[in-house]
Structure 1
Amino acid sequence: MSAPTYRARLEDQPLDFSVSEERRVFDGFRPLDVLTLTHAPLAEARRGRVRREIVRGGRCAVVIPYDPARDAIVVIRQFRVGAALATPHAAPLELPAGGIDEGEDPAAGAARELEEETGLRPRAVAHCFSVLSTPGLTDELAMVFLAIVDTAHLTGRGGKADEDEDILAIPAPFDALLDAVDRGAVQNGFLVCATHWFARHGRAHAALLADSIQTDPVS
């Protein structure tokens, strides 16, 4: 058997590409652009022009709000039109998440989204990993953060009224959440991904993060 090639390595890799035309066809909350481009060959020894539609999502923060004292993660439930159209479950479980503003520190954005959607202020926040949500559809890069919280302060209500958000915040014992993910009771990609990550690494990361907590909470 021949030695593996560079392209066979199990890693994301760069690839040369050139955009010859970029046109905005919808300029709403999530802009839609049409791109004409060429890219270097992979499996095919050619370099032809292709047309791709891309939803501009930018960076977003996804938060794993963990209470070490209760070994619980705060999840949220809200109406999602995509879930309503694709599944029988219009009120899926999710993690707190939202867009990071231009020029905003990502950790500060994560703390802001957590407070807006759950009412909780994190005692500490740390970046864990990043994922491309659907790279064939959008350029959204989701940055996943672990946040140390105290669920004793959880009211159960969240969301911004001026954005028509109606959010229920739920403290989920981690083992019960992992069981729900394993039996397919939840389908949100960020939640499934983060739960599996936490099962392997989360408690150890949380212990280190808790050791770093200062007297004042994250602003």
Structure 2
Amino acid sequence: MRDYQLKTDVEILSHEIAFKRFYQMEIYRLRHRLFNGNWSEIITRDIANTGQVAAVLPYDPAHNKVVLIEQFRAGTLTDEKSPWQLEIVAGLQEVDEVKIELAKRELKEEAGLDTTILMPIYRYWESPGASNKQVDLYCGIIDSRDAGIESLQGVAQEHEDIRVHVLDAEESFQLVRDGFINNSLSIIALQWLELSLLKAPQLLFK
């Protein structure tokens, strides 16, 4: 495996904000070092600054249950079946907010759950060709009997309308295999859980 190129191998010539509402679109003119050692031509890249995210897979090891949420997603309006998504919990980081606290806040707001154990899964770039969004993904150890299934969840001021589902872990894995769960956050989290349960559940969830 080759060594990574370094940040010093990029020269930013200009940076401007082209559009700003809830998210902002930024335009970069830059050049970067090529693998052959030369510099690239000057290129322009449009990058969506969509904020930083914490996401939580709520898992109950005592009952082998997963808690997922269902909500409308405008980004999936072109889905041939439905623009409602079955997902794990997630939210955008506020100014000066620590990712761990963000994860706990979203878990409470979206699923009605508390946790004292957040296990880091991955930190990854969601779509690095077009966005600077970085996701901190956690597994939150919870008691699924506390999930807010008796009422709708979410923050009214944010126009959230969330239904909570408690599923057997194996059922959630099958929903991924069947393509019913088709968003990257949830697929990554649930496949991690499935592999972890196969390998060494006694070490992870003791």
TM-score normalised to structure 1 length: 0.84
Q: Is the 8 A contact 1:159 1:167 kept in 2?
A: yes
Match of 1:57 in 2: 50
1:40-80, CA deviations, whole angstroms, 9 ceiling, x for partnerless residues?
A: 11379551111111111232101010011221111111001
Deviation of 1:172 (Å): 1.5
Percent identity, aligned pairs only, is 26
Q: Quote the Cα distance in structure 2 between the aligned partners of 1:26 and 1:63.
A: 30
Match of 2:156 in 1: 161
Of 21, 25, 29 in structure 1, the residue corresponding to residue 14 of structure 2 is 21
Q: Is the 8 A contact 1:57 1:141 kept in 2?
A: no
1:146-194, CA deviations, whole angstroms, 9 ceiling, x for partnerless residues?
A: 1011111122221100111000111121101111111212211111111
Q: Could you tell me which amino acid in structure 2 is paired with residue 94 of structure 1?
A: E
Match of 2:108 in 1: 115
Within a 5 Å distance, the mapping from 1:106-185 to structure 2 comes to 106-156=99-149, 157-185=152-180
Distance 1:128 1:203, change over 3 A: farther
Q: Quote the Cα distance in structure 1 between the aligned partners of 2:201 and 2:97.
A: 24
Residue 123 of structure 2: SS of its match in structure 1? strand
Q: Quote the Cα distance in structure 2 between the aligned partners of 1:20 and 1:87.
A: 42
Q: Is the 8 A contact 1:124 1:210 kept in 2?
A: no
Distance 1:74 1:204, change over 3 A: farther
Match of 1:214 in 2: none
Aligned length: 203
Q: Is the 8 A contact 1:107 1:127 kept in 2?
A: no
Root-mean-square deviation (Å): 2.2
Q: Could you tell me which amino acid in structure 2 is paired with residue 198 of structure 1?
A: L
- Residue 6 (structure 1) aligned with residue 6 (structure 2): no
Q: Quote the Cα distance in structure 2 between the aligned partners of 1:189 and 1:151.
A: 23
Deviation of 1:85 (Å): 2.3
TM-score normalised to structure 2 length: 0.89
Residue 84 of structure 2: SS of its match in structure 1? coil
Residue 180 of structure 1: SS of its match in structure 2? helix
